[in-house]
Structure 1
Amino acid sequence: MRLRKKPGVQNKLQEMRELVIPNPEVNKGNWHAVFGNTNPLHVELGTGKGTFITTLAGINPEINYLGVEKVPDILYIAAKKAIAQCLPNLRFLHMDVENLPFIFEDGEVDRIYLNFSDPWPKKRHSKRRLTHRHFLEIYKKVLKRPGEIHLKTDNQGFFEFSLNEFSEMGFRLRNITFDLHNSGFSGNVMTEYEERFVNLGQPIYRCEAIVLPE
């Protein structure tokens, strides 16, 4: 179901400037100052309605979180959740993933989360997938050494494509599962999409890709 656009949502996001960071490029290389500490920085690309990242921020106060979302109406929902929970270690960015190198210095990010990204199932659209090697080059640039990408999806084709791209681009893979909720993996935090798919009995695919020192 398509999300109904809320009138004036851009203005509402601007009013949340302490939480939804305006002009984030001015913080490049200095995100620790935004949070007022030197804790690790974890970034979720495509944060959706915010259930995943607000849960993580609540249970891990020693980690700083940034949620990246390009759809303003969805970002507004996530931001309201964060406000309700009073999470000092969470901020949001209204931007496209392509702009990451303008926002983060090389090696500034400790971990990236990719949760249920658009699989773009048609082969001619493969370059739009957030695990295409074009995007992996961007992630490798902003990630520390070693740095991590944690991927979850309900789409087997996208998952297999991602595993191949990670391998081709020199990432080391670990904790690969084709059925997360029957794998015995502990510490999983579910997203809104994940809850829906699990209730439908669909398997969830997950892996971790590590970028190693050169």
Structure 2
Amino acid sequence: MSFLGKKVWITGASSGIGAGLARELAAQGAHLLLSARREDELHKVQAECLERHGPIDILIHCAGVSQRALARDTISEVDRAIMEINYFGTVELTRAVLPSMLARKQGQLVVVSSVAGKIGTPLRSSYSASKHALLGYFDCLRAEVYQDGISVTIVCPGYIDTEIGSKAYTGDGGRYGKLEGVLHHGMPVQECARVILRAVARREPEVVVSRAKERTAVYLRRFFPKLLFRLVRTHIPS
């Protein structure tokens, strides 16, 4: 599938994977609608590739927030805020766009979940829960709308070189505010964007975008869960 002339809405487009996808799609001739919570950063991306368009061909959900806190230290307001942004916001926007896709019998929904939606690791309990929820909801929706000509692609990134960690919630609702080496040495954003778009173009139902280490972890979770659980608990901070 070519993206030339396609009308694509990207949420979370002001930074990270969303911004990377916007730049790649603009270079391939797509017509873009970009939205984000940080208006000042969004304008930087907008200046490069935003154009006016009509009905949506592809909706890409990239908006999200992470977490860096033990479950026992996380207040319920943080749990709810993460679910509102990562899960409920995604579902509600899908609900708003879906009727027009159903009416035209075409469209594609692309949901950026995470490897954390498959594997739970320390300090990310609510974040991981929200990403697991996305997998469950959109797996169901994929089956429901298949006969209507609508496809659903779920993207599960591993470590990508973004600032998601520094913007993550701490247990009391503050921001983590630190750059993480494991992310800084992760896959470059533009490489990640290109991998995602190849999967979208092929209408793949799911793609894990990561280096070999995270893909191995997904394999272990499926076939050797006890081994993975032992490995994960060695990373609990003291």
Which range, TM-score by smaller chain?
Answer: 0.3 to 0.5
TM (normalized to structure 1)? 0.45
Which structure carries more strand by proportion?
1
Structure exhibiting the larger radius of gyration computed from Cα positions: 2
